[in-house]
């Protein structure tokens, strides 16, 4: 099924519902593309027309809704090389914000925790920065230990009962766990989480953090509550997206050009739906 018609580029990513509309980025390709437009779509529109909202850059990213506002991380090297950026909208008006703390080529992901905002920014080294005033000012919170001449990224964030979890991508290393959790004012590896090269998909569902762990030979879905770690059976293939509506957890997997939509009420019993 076609989401909408008339889009200039084939890639659609970063889908998020906000104020009765579905918001998404449209780009030439899905991953690591530095030109993209932001659109919104009313599901009740039988003509399936999307409204162009603003120009962005850098996909994929993970937006968030907090305090009744939509936060959209991005990068536009024409204006702010070396700094992270994000846009904020109330559904009509847009404001541009800069993250001055920590050298960054782009802002990858944002997460709200009570009255605090977290952002994953990356240049050569992945960092997490924190704001206690809605994004007006920022301070550095965590830097991933990265060897010289290597690159790391903070690629996912989630909050479970007041604890922030972070996914890391380091393609140079697949021997250390790449899911971190907040502890004593910093981030530490989740105990017993398996080694891997990347965790770039995280979702919270019924008291668990679910994450796609990409190892040297496979991509597998695992979950943790911060104490217990379990491998989740079910979705086969590379997990490209995770989502939860509070009752059902959803996963999209892909392999060799084909994809499938999976669903589960408890994260353990999975049902494969239609191909995507």
pLDDT band at residue 275 under the 50/70/90 scheme: low
Give 254-265 pLDDT, tens digit per residue: 766 667 889 999
194: CB partners within 8 A, 6+ apart: 177, 213, 215, 220, 222, 229, 231
Q: What is the pLDDT of residue 257?
A: 61
Shared-domain flag, residues 123 and 7: yes
Shared-domain flag, residues 47 and 101: yes
Shared-domain flag, residues 86 and 161: no
Shared-domain flag, residues 3 and 126: yes
- Give mean pLDDT, residues 72-90: 79
d(CA 276, CA 265): 20
Shared-domain flag, residues 98 and 233: no
Shared-domain flag, residues 2 and 139: yes
Residue tagged 């018609």 (tokens): 5
State the pTM of this model.
0.89
Q: What is the CATH number of the domain that holds 13?
A: 2.120.10.10
d(CA 65, CA 112): 8
Q: Which of 117, 143, 169 is the last residue of a domain?
A: 143
Domain ranges, residue 19: 1-143
pLDDT band at residue 226 under the 50/70/90 scheme: very high
Nearest to 254 by CA among 201, 184, 216: 201
Q: What is the pLDDT of residue 33?
A: 61
Higher pLDDT, 7 or 148: 148
Q: What is the CATH number of the domain that holds 253?
A: 2.130.10.10
Shared-domain flag, residues 170 and 208: yes
Count up the domains in the chain and report the number. 2
What single string gives the DSSP state of each residue in 82-139? TSEEEEEESSS-EEEEEE-SS--SEEEEEEEETTEEEEEEESSSEEEEEESSTTSS-E
């Amino acid at each position: 099924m076609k989401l909408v018609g008339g889009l200039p580029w084939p890639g659609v990513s970063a889908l998020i519902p906000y104020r009765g509309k579905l918001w998404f980025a449209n780009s030439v390709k899905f991953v690591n593309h530095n030109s993209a437009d932001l659109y919104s779509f009313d599901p009740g529109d039988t003509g399936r027309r999307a409204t162009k909202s603003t120009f962005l850059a850098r996909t994929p990213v993970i937006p968030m809704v907090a305090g009744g506002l939509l936060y959209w991380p991005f990068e536009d090297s024409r204006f702010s090389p070396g700094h992270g950026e994000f846009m904020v909208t109330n559904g009509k008006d847009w404001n541009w914000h800069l993250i001055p703390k920590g050298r960054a080529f782009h802002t990858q992901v944002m997460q709200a925790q009570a009255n605090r905002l977290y952002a994953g920014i990356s240049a050569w080294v992945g960092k997490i920065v924190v704001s206690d005033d809605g994004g007006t000012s920022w301070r550095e919170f965590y830097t991933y230990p990265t060897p010289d001449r290597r690159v790391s990224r903070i690629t996912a964030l989630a909050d479970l009962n007041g604890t922030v979890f972070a996914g890391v991508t380091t393609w140079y290393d697949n021997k250390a766990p790449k899911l971190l959790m907040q502890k004593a004012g910093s981030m530490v590896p989740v105990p017993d989480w398996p080694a891997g090269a990347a965790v770039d998909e995280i979702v919270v569902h019924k008291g668990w953090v679910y994450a796609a762990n990409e190892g040297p030979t496979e991509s597998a879905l695992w979950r943790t509550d911060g104490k217990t770690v379990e491998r989740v059976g079910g979705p086969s293939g590379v997990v490209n997206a995770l989502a939860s509506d509070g009752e059902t957890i959803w996963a999209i997997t892909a392999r060799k050009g084909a994809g499938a939509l999976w669903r589960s009420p408890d994260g353990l019993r999975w049902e494969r739906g239609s191909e995507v």
